[in-house]
Each structure stands twice: as C-alpha cells, then as structure tokens.
C-alpha cells in the first residue's frame, strides 16, 4: 500500500490521505517572503514553501475543515491586518469583545487545529502530548459539526502586538501547560496573530459555560489586550481567568 494511503484519522475510512496542514496555510501567508517561503526552525533554519503538514485526512474530511478555514479567513485573517483598530470590537476592561459571523464555526475551526496538532508527530513541543480519551470525542464533534455544550473544551486568545500596536504573525507548535488549571489540562498554540489557550474540560466550569453561552448568543469572542512587553505565560492567563470568573 502507498505511503499516501491509510486510515483517515477523523472518519477512520481507508483510502488516499491528503497533505493535511496542522495550522492552515492562511496563518503562514503573512510571514512568507516575496518568494512565498517561510523559515522553518529546527536543528537548522531552512526555507520551505509550505507550512507543516502530515498525511492525516481523507479528501472528504479535508474539505470539511477547508470550509471552516475559509470562514475564518474571511472574518479574521482578512480583517485584522494591518492593525486591530478597525476590528468590530468593544472595549471590555483589558479585553476586546470582537464580533464574528458564526461562533459555532469559529469554535469548530479552532478545535480542529487543537485536534490535528495533538495527533501530529512533530507539530508539538513534546511528542507525548495526547488528547487521550478526548481524541475520539472531539473527532466525533468535528465530524458532526457539533461544538458541544457551552463550556466544553473552552478556548481563549491573547492578541500579539508589536510596539506600534500592529498585530504580529507567528506560528508556533502545541505546548502543554505546566500543572493544571482548575483541575484540567491545558494547551497553548500560536497562530493567526494570537496566542490561543485550550482548556481540556468536558464539561467546563460553570463560568466557562456562562461565557461561552454569551459568545454563542451574541456571536462574539473576547481577546485579551495586554501590553506587548508583558509575559504571555500562564501567570498572565491565570490573572485573566480570575477577572473573567469574577465577571461571569
């Protein structure tokens, strides 16, 4: 059997497998040079023509993810540059409340990236990172287009800005947080101008459920807006979450 044939990691059908990008190419576009190349940093630094991919998905499942990626490109990647000042936002203390078209599609897009990264061989800082028993549960949610109940596998983001408050395009692999947050494992990734944090909780805490219910009913999302010089470590996230708990 060809190396390009095997079991689709999403639907588990046997057949040809696509070159599945872990983080979609849309996130690499802002960091490509004039020859369409990006720098890959490993044991050596080299120029490559495309972002990291693995043979993970069949054509049908690849197209499923592609639809969510197209929607995200329209409402996010095509809206943020060159600054975030013209985003449809509302100040929310040290958070920005951002309008999006469809929160369900927005969540499914990000869950698909978390799921792909956790499954990948090399797009994670620790090869032992795994979603464990949640792997197939999230796969079923993705296949069904089901974002779960409010608070299931919640995620949050912090916008990366330079000293001129322009968004910074960076792509970085999946990392596992140290310890646990409110008893749950958490992961961090960087793409699409933001640091994203995913809480592996099902169900989530009551305040996480309340805030996602708000997102769904209003089609909005909260972005942390912190100074560029401030650390994006988990101490910052714990402070952000503490404020969110108080409000929600």
Contact at 8 Å (CB) between 39 and 45? yes
Cα 73 from Cα 77, distance rounded (Å) = 5
Q: Give 162's pLDDT tier (boundaries 50, 70, 90).
A: confident
Give the global pTM: 0.88
Question: What are the tokens at 81?
Answer: 């540059």
Q: Is residue 21 part of a domain?
A: no
Domain count, the chain: 1
Cα 50 from Cα 20, distance rounded (Å) = 11
Q: Give 205's pLDDT tier (boundaries 50, 70, 90).
A: confident
- Tell whether the model's pLDDT for residue 57 goes beyond 50: yes
CA angle 135, 204, 68 (to 5 degrees): 55
Residues in contact with 217: Cβ distance below 8 Å, sequence separation at least 6, in sequence order: none
**What is the pLDDT, as a whole number, of residue 91?**
58
Q: Is residue 54 part of a domain?
A: no
Q: Where in the sequence is the domain holding 189, given as residue range(s)?
A: 68-247
Q: Is residue 224 part of a domain?
A: yes
Question: What are the tokens at 208?
Answer: 């996480």
| Average pLDDT over the chain, rounded to an integer | 83
**Which H/E stretch holds residue 235?**
helix 234-247
- Expressed in angstroms, the distance from the first to the final Cα of the chain is 53
Q: Is residue 57 part of a domain?
A: no
Other C-beta atoms within 10 Å of 86: how many? 10
Q: Is residue 162 part of a domain?
A: yes
- Tell whether the model's pLDDT for residue 44 goes beyond 90: no
Q: Is residue 171 part of a domain?
A: yes
Per-residue burial over 216-235, b if 16 or more Cβ lie within 10 Å, else e, is: beebbbbbbbbeeeeebebe
Give the SS3 label for residue 150: coil
Residue identified by tokens 């646990």 is 180
**What is the pLDDT, as a whole number, of residue 34?**
62
Cα 210 from Cα 238, distance rounded (Å) = 18
Q: Give 14's pLDDT tier (boundaries 50, 70, 90).
A: very high
Q: Is residue 39 part of a domain?
A: no
Q: Is residue 89 part of a domain?
A: yes
More confident residue, 114 or 99: 114
- Please state which of the ranges 54-58, 59-63, 77-81 shows the lowest mean pLDDT: 77-81
Cα 29 from Cα 146, distance rounded (Å) = 29
């Amino acid at each position: 059997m060809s190396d390009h044939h095997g079991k689709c990691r999403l639907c588990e059908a046997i057949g040809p497998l696509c070159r599945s990008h872990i983080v979609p190419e849309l996130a690499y576009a802002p960091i490509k040079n004039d020859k369409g190349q990006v720098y890959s940093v490993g044991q050596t630094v080299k120029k490559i023509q495309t972002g990291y991919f693995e043979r993970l998905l069949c054509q049908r499942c690849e197209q499923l993810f592609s639809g969510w990626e197209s929607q995200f490109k329209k409402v996010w990647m095509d809206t943020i540059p060159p600054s975030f000042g013209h985003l449809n936002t509302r100040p929310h203390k040290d958070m920005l409340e951002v309008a999006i078209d469809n929160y369900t599609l927005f969540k499914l897009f990000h869950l698909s990236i978390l799921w792909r990264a956790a499954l990948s061989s090399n797009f994670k800082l620790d090869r032992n990172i795994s979603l464990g028993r949640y792997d197939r549960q999230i796969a079923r949610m993705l296949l069904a287009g089901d974002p779960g109940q409010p608070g299931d596998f919640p995620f949050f983001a912090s916008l990366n800005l330079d000293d001129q408050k322009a968004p910074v395009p960076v792509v970085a692999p999946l990392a596992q947080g140290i310890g646990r947050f409110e008893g749950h494992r958490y992961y961090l990734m960087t793409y699409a101008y933001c640091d994203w944090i995913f809480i592996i909780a099902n169900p989530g805490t009551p305040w996480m459920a309340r805030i996602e219910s708000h997102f769904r009913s209003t089609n909005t999302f909260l972005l942390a807006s912190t100074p560029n010089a401030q650390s994006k470590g988990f101490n910052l996230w714990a402070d952000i979450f503490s404020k969110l708990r108080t409000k929600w």
